[in-house]
Amino acid sequence: MVISAPAARLSRRRVLGGAFAIAAGATALAACDSHGSSGSAGVLNVWGGVPEDSGPGDMIAAFEKANPGIKVKYTRYVNDPTGNLKLDTALQGGVPIDVIFNYGPPKVSKRVAAGLLVDLSEKIAAESSFAKFAAGATPRANYVFDGKVYTVPAARSPQLVMANADLLDKAGIEIPADWDVEDYHRIAKQLTVGSVNGSLGSPAIGVPTLGPDANYTKGGQGSNFAAAAWRKQVELGVEMQNDRSAVPHKTVLAQKLQTFAQNAFLGGQFAMLSTQAFLVRYISDTKQYPHSFKVRAYPVPAPVKGKAYWNPGAYGDLMSISAKSSQKDAAWTFLKYWVTNAGAYMIKGGRLPSLPDPAKKADAISQLLGPDMTKLYDVDSFGAVLFDPAIKIPVDTIFTASTEIADLQTKLNDQAYLGSISVDQWVQRMTAQSDAAIRKAS
């Protein structure tokens, strides 16, 4: 008995519990930096990914003026794996956080499953201006988890094609408003002259054709990469690599153009790219990115001419309230203010509001494109594309193994575009490996 007693005290459960307590303490300490240490009443702690001087600073100043009883402390975290881990450990470790900006529904999905976010369904339902963000809204404009809503999107980020107007004019190319992916390929070939490539990459076909939950079949039980639309997308990408109408993929990887496309675009390395409005931050910054050409905007090309399609953009800047917040009412007041007023303060940083005011379309465009807009942009084209009422943004509902699937897609796309696997192998591997990831996560 005397011998067995200590063994009983040092049970497996106790050892594990102790180790986790220590690990959790360590991660909480690590996350507890100078920004997160304040938790005093009346100070809302907000964690977001946008640099403070790109809009959040002005937005917060305006909010504090309108709500004198509430102070806001904004902490910027970088939206990468390390930054998100820092946020998640801070949320778990008890660092005072009231409002969180989530970037991508898979992140929300994980945080919802862990009980870290407040169910906002009732509050959204009670707010008439938020009707489009309710769980049952049609068309869907928000992410729903088991019938409940935990976020309100503050930004709407449709994709658009931006093009170097000088190169288009020099080649005498008129892009039709109803162009399709074949037109895009043909025009990219025409624009490929000498060391200049027609396009950064190839246009999307999978999501525009398949819409929400394009990656899944059987309600999320299987993957959908055997669908013809995905095959066509990869085939087109490979074709554009082979005829050099797209920037060679090894150059994309070597120059990290998937992240830093602006450098090469404004340096005249290629003529067209599919992107989002945030790119205007760089286009308008002629000191850092000197260039003499105007940029023109076009809608993303249709998979099939004349047939309706989805825009492969997203609703973003998903605002949530931490379940551990001690100031949930103040946090909701802040969230509501931000979403409602995002148009006034966030557009200059390239973030279009999720609640656009059609009456202020001209103001929004001039804020977005800045004081030199007539010199740097084909202004009308941006207005027509970004505020096109026909744009349909798909809102996913299934997120099983979505991070793993996105990672697989990047890796296998690299291999296909570098020519080390065939399109058939892409389809076969993407399907098999995504199915395995879904099985593992289910």
- Tell whether residue 113 is a contact of another protein (CB under 8 A): yes
Closer residue to another protein (CB): 335 or 412: 412
Q: Which of residues 16-45 bind another protein (CB under 8 A)?
A: 16, 19-24, 26-27
**Binding map of another protein across residues 376-415, x = CB under 8 A, - = no contact:** ---------------------------xx--x--xxx-xx
Cβ(134)–Cβ(355) below 8 Å: no
- Tell whether residue 420 is a contact of another protein (CB under 8 A): yes
**Binding map of another protein across residues 237-266, x = CB under 8 A, - = no contact:** -----------xxxx-xx------------
Handedness of CA 56, 60, 66, 70 (dihedral sign): positive
- Tell whether residue 137 is a contact of another protein (CB under 8 A): no
Closest CB 30 distance from another protein, rounded Å: 11
> What is the three-state SS of the chain?
CCCHHHHHHCCHHHHHHHHHHHHHHHHHHHHCCCCCCCCCCCEEEEEECCCHHHCHHHHHHHHHHHCCCCEEEEEECCCCHHHHHHHHHHHHHCCCCCEEEECCHHHHHHHHHCCCECCCHHHHHCCHHHHHHCCCCCCCCCCEECCEECCEEEEEECCEEEEEHHHHHHCCCCCCCCCEHHHHHHHHHHHCECCEEEECCCCCCHHHHHCCCCCEEHHHCEECCCCHHHHHHHHHHHHHHHCCCECCHHHHHHCCCCCCHHHHHHCCCEEEEEECHHHHHHHCCCCCCCCCCCEEEECCCECCCCCCCCCCCEEEEEEEEECCCCCHHHHHHHHHHHHHHHHHHCHHHCCCECCCCHHHHHHHHHHHHCCCHHHHECHHHHHHHHCCCCCCCCCCCCCCCHHHHHHHHHHHHHHHHCCCCCHHHHHHHHHHHHHHHHHHHC
- Tell whether residue 424 is a contact of another protein (CB under 8 A): no
Closest CB 117 distance from another protein, rounded Å: 11
Closest CB 107 distance from another protein, rounded Å: 9
Cα–Cα distance, 26 to 30 (Å, whole number): 6
Type of residue numbered 290: P
Residues 6+ apart with CB under 8 A from 15: none
Closer residue to another protein (CB): 319 or 412: 412
**Of these, 32, 62, 85, 229, which contacts another protein (CB under 8 A)?**
85
- Tell whether residue 7 is a contact of another protein (CB under 8 A): no
Q: Which stretch binds another protein (CB under 8 A): 12-20, 211-219, 290-298, 382-390?
A: 12-20
Closest CB 225 distance from another protein, rounded Å: 16
Closest CB 116 distance from another protein, rounded Å: 7
**Of these, 98, 103, 111, 224, which contacts another protein (CB under 8 A)?**
111
Closest CB 358 distance from another protein, rounded Å: 39
Closer residue to another protein (CB): 228 or 432: 432
- Tell whether residue 89 is a contact of another protein (CB under 8 A): yes
Closest CB 232 distance from another protein, rounded Å: 22
How many residues of this chain interact with another protein, rule: CB under 8 A? 41
Side-chain half-sphere exposure of 165, counting CA atoms within 13 A: 16
Closer residue to another protein (CB): 22 or 304: 22
Q: Which stretch binds another protein (CB under 8 A): 83-91, 225-233, 291-299, 338-346?
A: 83-91
Closer residue to another protein (CB): 15 or 131: 15
**Of these, 2, 3, 13, 65, which contacts another protein (CB under 8 A)?**
13
295-298 vs 160-164, strand pairing mode: antiparallel
Closest CB 33 distance from another protein, rounded Å: 17
User: Which structure tokens are listed for 288?
Assistant: 């850092």
Closest CB 111 distance from another protein, rounded Å: 6
Closer residue to another protein (CB): 81 or 194: 81
Closer residue to another protein (CB): 185 or 249: 249
In the complex, the residues that contact another protein under the rule CB under 8 A are 12-13, 15-16, 19-24, 26-27, 81-82, 85, 88-89, 91-92, 110-111, 113-116, 248-251, 253-254, 403-404, 407, 410-412, 414-415, 418, 420
